[in-house]
Structure 1
Amino acid sequence: MAIINLLDNETINKIAAGEVIENPKSIVKELVENSIDAGADEITIEIKNGGKSFIRVTDNGKGIEKDQVENAFKRHCTSKISSSDDLNSLFTLGFRGEALASIAAVSKVEIITRTNDDIYGIKMTIEGGKIISKEDIGCPVGTTITVTDLFYNVPARKKFLKSDISESSNINEIVVSLALSKENISFKYINNNNVAYRTPKTNNLMNTISSLYEKDLYNSLLKIDYKGDVLGITGYTTNLNYYRGNRKQQIVFVNGRVIKHRRMSYFIEEAYNTLLPKNKYPACFIKIEIAPALVDVNVHPAKTEVRFQNEEMVLNEIKNAIYSALHSKSIMKEVKGETLLHDSKDINNLRIFDRSSGISVILGGLENKFTEETEETENIRITEVEISNKDIAVMESLKPYDKFEFKQQTFIKAENDEDKLPELFVIGIVMDTYIICENPEKTCMFMIDQHAAHERINYEKFLNQYNSREILIQEIVPEVINLSYDDYETAMSNIEIFEYLGISVENFGNNAILINNIPTIFKDSNLKDVFYAILDNLKDITKSNLDFVMEKIIKEACVKSVKSGDRLHMSEVRALLNDLRMTDNPYTCPHGRPVIIKMTRYEIEKMFERIQS
């Protein structure tokens, strides 16, 4: 018969340490958070070999009193709270009293600390949770903690550490996040004796971002300043000119604490719905201020997981905050001269034509043909093209956002004329794909992708039809689908959602359902595939119930759209631009690619070296 043993303190500490200290990154996070809580405004982080052999965190905070240093390394000893009631008004990053004890249990630790009231500081060394030495020492006010030989006494844990490069990358990620959380603190990060970066002590988050990220990201940032009923959201998010292949640059803080929240990432990306290419993600730095009583930070010892009292409200407020930031600026893609390839090998084959006027211009060689009168000025042949009032003026249209209906958000402000699309006159078409326009002031040239424009038009047309459920429902030969008990229960408990999606679901008994109607956009699809795709989405709380429908609408829009290379008459171009003018978002196709690109006169003349850059 097995004997139930009471574990000794050393074993208990090693087991408990595994929950808090998973890798060198965990140590850096806990030590830096302690420095922040100590009121430091200068923090230096040094690591070697990915933090596996050496980590040192130095701060100029208030320090630890001599008679309290030993208590700091005892489990569940903390200066942050005194009772459970304090958790409802918690603004410090640490509060569990586990970090230092956990670090000391699995490594060799040296602490040097002094308060402003003490003449001398104290130096104490600990190995495997046991105090080895303790002595007075001269040192500045603040605290320095050095951690060496991580997991030296837990070889099973040590062998699971990653390579030096991987561990260094993870540490860099958390240091960057912590630096962004407290822009009023200067962070210095040293890796293998080389200073990687140093952030300024500032009250402007943009200054901190500029010291940590590349110029392209910095120049693409849009300010977030949003006030909700119970929370405030500030920070920055990127416009459509910047995106990455992963979510590592989506950093969120709640009351100054770096957090991870899967559903929040989804709502952030919902704000960019159809605006970015598939599998591309925006960068954002979002700071949420909310009453501590409305958020639980005591979910996991790592303190990166949080639970909100009203999660759906918070997530929707975040999405609305990003909507507002995108809404505040025109999102038309603008091409700079330096982004163009200086490759003129195909210029001899470039044809520009305007079918309405009959102009045909071939650049290159000695051949220039015109069907209209031309005049010659300083050896430059100029064709005069008369623009009639029938040419298309592409103006923005507005549609208010209704959070209770799934529709495309408009991103143009009616009250700000600078954000409107200008009136555009059609000049011609190149490559049977790109419509060339200019504004009345002749200060900008615009290129419109006819396929992307038609995709946007069809996408919004199908989406509006779907939202209104007009002419979408099609009767079919009734089909019975046999389900597992779990699938049957999910389907029957979500009948209203299926009805909203235009699919009739009836109980047919014995875990079977009967379908009589489907939307016309699914008429060529396998009914079971459609049903199961929607059913799976209903089971996945991280996805919108309409995700699958949205994908179908996008695909349908693409199939029915004008293609690149399709020749359009000028009347068709006018109709296309008229329809584009009526869309909520004429700037991008449903896949996130640009519909219209602007080049200013300044950029064009700079490329032709008519002006000096």
Structure 2
Amino acid sequence: MPEIQVLNRQVAELIAAGEVVERPSSVIKELVENAIDAGSAVVTVETQRGGRSYMRVTDNGCGIPPEQVPTAFLRHATSKIVTEADLDAIGTLGFRGEALAAISAVSRIEMLTRTKDAELGLRYSCLDGLHPETEEAGCPQGTTITVRDLFFNTPARMKFLKKDVTEGNAIAGILDKIALSHPEISFRYIRDGKEVLHTPGDGKLSSALYAVYGKEFSASLIPVSYNLQGVGVKGFISKPAASRANRSMQNFFINGRYIRSRTASVALEEACKGAVMAGKFPACALHLELGKETVDVNVHPAKMEVRFANEQPVFDAVYYGVKSALREGDSPKVMGLNQSRSYEMPPRKVVPITSISPSGGLEEEPGRPLLLKDSAPEQPVPAETPTVQTETKEPSSVQTEPEAPPSLLPEPEPEISVPRLSRAYGDGKLPAVKREPEGFTPLVENALENRPAAESPQAEAAPLPLPEIPLEESPQPVFDPLPLEAAQTEEKGEAPSLLGERAFHGKIIGEAFGTYILVEHSPQALMLIDKHAAHERLIYERLKAQGPNGEAQALLEPVPVSLEKEEYSAVTANLSRLREAGFEVEDFGPGTVLVRAVPLLLDGGDGAAALMEIAGYLAQQKATLTTQHMDWVYHNVACRAAIKAGDVTHPEELAALCRQLEENPQVRYCPHGRSVYVLLPRREIEKQFGRV
């Protein structure tokens, strides 16, 4: 057994430094907290290469007297506490006396400091971790600490550092939290020569939030101010509509210190339950004020975790404070009479009506507008563009477009238009399909006879992913809306579907709960189809088949999207892969990207929202867009582009969806794993009625 011996000072300090200095962001956190404790009004942070090679923190605080500077670099040397009793009521950010000693043990450090009354300051440098040097130097009041070559003497620690971008993001994240914890201090962060953060230091939390998270986030905040059982809660929460994909923007501060608190986080989310969508998380910046003796911050050297003497008052204060704020602040905007807005409606195209001649051709009847039904007398068409006035007052004060006479309204026969499904097929027309019956029939028969579907040759005929299906060209312009009578074919007098060459050969009974399509596909079974799951899977297969050649549509007006620091870096590092998925994104300054194009299946708003979710996912996974992650992107886009449960769906759309499933019988589960359809055998139905 090796002999037990006391470690030498250098080895002991390297071990101790590992508890305090884990990465560059740990150094910045300790130095900035010391600057705050020194009473600084302005703090400037500069880094290069994510802090690996260079970090500098400058403040205008009280400075350190020259004779105390060498002592400040010794372990357990501090001005914050003196006796054991001081640990029971800690009011400063630092108190352990370990930061400077730990940093100097693993880097080359230099300090310039001067007090208010001194004519000259002091330069203290320790470039090898062992032999410090001091000399007088001219400098402004305050302290400047420069750290170079972090972990130069501990290569084992150096190799565990991440990419420069990742380490820089971690520093930016820490500074964001500290800036929100002390809005009365002006913080400035210069990263690789570029300013990425500058708070005004006016003492207003709203100003700090604007500087950290941007205009869009700041505009969606609800103020919180509440006191309960000696616990004060003050700050802001996001409106439910502005909830995030993760908890990275939940900021809690206790007595001016940023902390991670599961108690406060659970209270926040419980208070927002029912207002925030499932899978989303509210954002916040909440300052909690409570007695210093009721909270213990001496839990870990990083001082990010705390213990409460009693957690219930903290939970209750956050819960009821947020509940009260939501009740009072999350109300819809109301427009007064002097805030009316007018919306110009585009002029309708008037096309001469046509009728069917006995020979089957189309004849033009000049002087008559194109109507859905030809049963109405001739009506004049207004020449000017109609304007809709919208006001939020009494219902009688709302001006709307005059209703058309009953004779001009169509019969309750659905229009042939596909506002959602058609987007899944590029130019508004769904693909041509084979005329031979195939698809569901073998699956139904196999299911009813308890045979595996793989035995059916039809079930094996359509491989994944879906092939690119050629689209039929329309021989003439399609008017909107297209009259059913004018669209009859020459041979059979039947209206051809804009959704394909033939109709779905099963019998669509209808739709239940706005979600499930009821299909009588064979004499032996009913089929219930989840329309969202089915549409989502079909779109997903198409996106996956396109691969890096994803179709995109340019936006008329580019959409700026504000992102958190880590999300912003994750997006800007993956611009080329996002382009493959159909997102044309460019850097638009710190914390903001500009969306110029989105996947063809999405509109601008959905595309921007999808990009925010992708950004949150990448920041949380801390990964680049590999093939595996691109699959997640396809899932996200498909889910947003698909018909939603509860949407009003035209019968033609339902038929098109059923036909596409018929063409692709292997589509049985949505990308999330939910069943696309289930079978209800006729025998089971008849059992319920006592027929068998």
| TM-score, scaled to structure 2 | 0.51
8 Å contact from structure 1 (residues 374, 381) kept in 2:
no
- In structure 1, distance between residues paired with 2:96 and 2:185: 24
Q: Greater Rg, structure 1 or structure 2?
A: 2
Residue 565 (structure 1) aligned with residue 653 (structure 2): no
| Aligned residues with identical type, % of pairs | 40
Counterpart in the other structure of 2:77: 77
- Asked whether the equivalents of residues 101 and 129 of structure 1 are also in contact (C-alpha less than 8 Å), the reply is no
Partners of 1:160 and 1:185 in 2: CA distance: 33
* Aligned residue in 2 for 1:474: none
Provide the residue aligned with 1:102 in structure 2. Answer: 102
Q: Which amino acid aligns with 1:565?
A: V
Corresponding residue number in structure 2 for 1:7: 7
How far apart, in 2, do the equivalents of 1:423 and 1:8 lie?
A: 87
- 2:231–2:313 Cα contact (<8 Å) kept: no
SS at match of 1:130: coil
Deviation at 1:365, TM superposition (A): 6.8
1:287-325 per-position Cα deviation (integer Å, ceiling 9, x unaligned) = 011111000000000001001111133123212211111
Residue segments in structure 2 that go unaligned for 5+ positions in a row: 336-343, 351-367, 387-391, 404-411, 418-510, 516-643, 651-692
Change (3 A) 1:286 1:422: farther
**Counterparts of 2:376 and 2:83, CA distance in 1:** 88
Q: What does residue 224 of structure 2 align with?
A: 224
AA paired with 1:298? N
Write the distance in 2 (CA, Å) between the matches of 1:423 and 1:312. Answer: 50
Q: Distance in 2 between matches of 1:422 and 1:343?
A: 22
CA separation of 1:562/1:216 partners in 2, compared to 1, >3 Å: closer, same or farther?
A: closer
Structure 1 residues 380, 344: closer, same or farther in 2, change over 3 A?
Answer: closer
SS in 1 for 2:101: helix
Conserved in 2, the CA contact under 8 Å of 1:45 and 1:55? yes
CA distance in 1, matches of 2:349, 2:308: 59
Residues in 2 aligned to 1:311 and 1:288: alpha-carbon distance in whole angstroms: 13
Query: Contact conserved, 2:181 with 2:256, CA < 8 A, in 1?
Result: yes
Partner of 2:36: 36
Partner of 2:191: 191
Aligned residue in 2 for 1:252 = 252
Question: How far does the alpha carbon of each residue in 1:403-452 deviate from its partner, in whole angstroms, 9 at most, with x for none?
Answer: xxxxxxxxxxxxxxx9x999999x999999xxxxxxxxxxxxxxxxxx9x
Deviation string 1:12-48 (CA, Å, 9 cap, x unpaired) is 1111110011000000000000000000001000000
Amino acid aligned to 2:179 = A
Tell me if the contact between 2:229 and 2:313 (Cα under 8 Å) persists in the aligned partners: no
Q: Secondary structure at the match of 1:22?
A: coil
Partner Cα distance (2:346, 2:304) in 1? 53
Q: How does 1:148-227 map to 2 (within 5 A)?
A: 148-227=148-227
- Displacement of 1:271 in angstroms is 1.7
- Give distance in 1, aligned partners of 2:394 and 2:258: 39
Give, in angstroms, the shift of residue 126 of structure 1: 1.3
The one-letter amino acid of 1:366's match is L
| Partner amino acid, structure 2, of 1:183 | P
Q: Which residue of structure 1 aligns with residue 318 of structure 2?
A: 318
- The Cα of 1:141 is off from its aligned counterpart by 0.7
Deviations, residues 176-201 of structure 1 (Å, cap 9, x unaligned): 11111111111110001111121102
Whether 1:367 aligns to 2:371 is: yes
Distance 2:155 2:347 in 1: 63
Question: Residue 48 of structure 1 aligns to which amino acid in structure 2?
Answer: Q
How far apart in 2 are the matches of 1:285 and 1:422?
39
Mapped to 1, the partners of 2:283 and 2:157 lie a distance apart of 34
In 1, the alpha carbon distance for the partners of 2:69 and 2:211 equals 35
Note the C-alpha offset of 1:133. 1.2
Query: Counterparts in 2 of 1:294-333, with a 5 A limit?
Result: 294-332=294-332
CA deviation map 1:257-306 (0-9, x unaligned): 01112343232222221322222222110101111100000000000100
Classify 1:186/1:369 alpha carbon distance in 2 versus 1 (closer, same or farther; 3 Å).
farther
Q: Once the two structures are superposed, what CA deviation does each residue of 1:233-260 show, in whole Å capped at 9, x if it has no partner? A: 1010110221221211111111000111
Question: Deviation digits for residues 67-87 of structure 1, max 9, x if unmatched?
Answer: 100111111110001012112
In the alignment, is the contact (CA less than 8 A) between 2:28 and 2:171 conserved in 1?
A: yes
Letter in 2 for 1:109: I
List aligned pairs for 1:363-442, cutoff 5 A.
366-367=370-371, 379=383
Which residue of 2 is the match for residue 467 of structure 1?
none
Deviations along 1:371-429, one digit per CA (max 9) or x if unpaired, are: 999997965799xxxxxxxxxxxxxxxxxxxxxxxxxxxxxxxxxxx9x999999x999
User: Which structure has more RCO (C-alpha within 8 Å, separation ≥ 6)?
Assistant: 1
Letter in 1 for 2:307: R
Equivalent position SS for 1:187 = strand
Question: 2:670 is matched with which residue?
Answer: none
Shift of 1:159: 0.5
Q: 1:61 to 1:371 in 2, by over 3 A?
A: farther
Q: 1:368 to 1:209 in 2, by over 3 A?
A: same
1:282 partner SS: coil
Corresponding residue for residue 238 of structure 1? 238
Distance of aligned partners of 1:320 and 1:372 in 2 relative to their CA distance in 1, 3 Å threshold: farther
> Is 1:144 matched with 2:144?
yes
Report the CA distance between 1:130 and its aligned residue: 2.3
1:421 and 1:237 mapped to 2: Cα distance? 32
Q: Is the Cα–Cα contact under 8 Å of residues 239 and 330 in structure 2 kept in the other structure?
A: no
Distance change (3 Å), C-alpha of 1:200 and 1:562? closer
Q: Is the alpha carbon distance of 1:381 and 1:27 closer, same or farther for their aligned partners in structure 2, counting shifts above 3 Å?
A: closer
Instruction: Answer with 161-170 or 316-325: which moved more.
Output: 316-325
- For the residue of structure 2 that corresponds to 1:226, the secondary structure is strand
Q: State the one-letter code of the partner of 2:11.
A: T
Measure how far apart 1:119 and its partner are: 1.0
SS in 2 for 1:109: strand
Q: Distance in 2 between matches of 1:344 and 1:38?
A: 64
In 1, the alpha carbon distance for the partners of 2:174 and 2:285 equals: 14
Which sections of structure 1, spanning at least 5 residues, go unmatched? Answer: 336-341, 349-363, 383-417, 433-450, 456-560, 568-613
CA distance in 2, matches of 1:132, 1:279: 53
Q: Distance in 2 between matches of 1:370 and 1:314?
A: 70
- Aligned residue type for 2:370: L
Q: Tell me how far apart the structure 2 counterparts of residues 271 and 259 of structure 1 sit (CA, whole Å).
A: 20
Aligned to 1:168, the other structure's residue is in SS state helix
SS of 2:325's partner is: helix
Distance in 2 (CA, whole Å) between partners of 1:144 and 1:191 is 17
State the alpha-carbon separation in 2 of the partners of residues 370 and 221 from structure 1. 54
3-state DSSP class of the match of 2:94?
coil
Determine if contact 2:263/2:311 at 8 Å carries over to the other structure: no
- Contact kept in structure 2, 1:111 and 1:146, CA below 8 Å: yes
Query: What amino acid does structure 2 have at the position aligned with 1:367?
Result: L
Hey, what's the Cα distance between the residues in 2 that align with 1:313 and 1:423? 49
Q: Which residue in 2 is equivalent to 1:271?
A: 271
User: What aligned pairs does 1:472-483 form with structure 2 within 5 A after superposition?
Assistant: none
Whole-angstrom distance in 1 between the partners of 2:324 and 2:377: 50
Does structure 1 conserve the Cα–Cα contact (< 8 Å) formed by 2:228 and 2:316?
A: no
Alignment of 1:583-594 (within 5 A): none
Provide the TM-score with structure 1 as the length reference.
Answer: 0.57
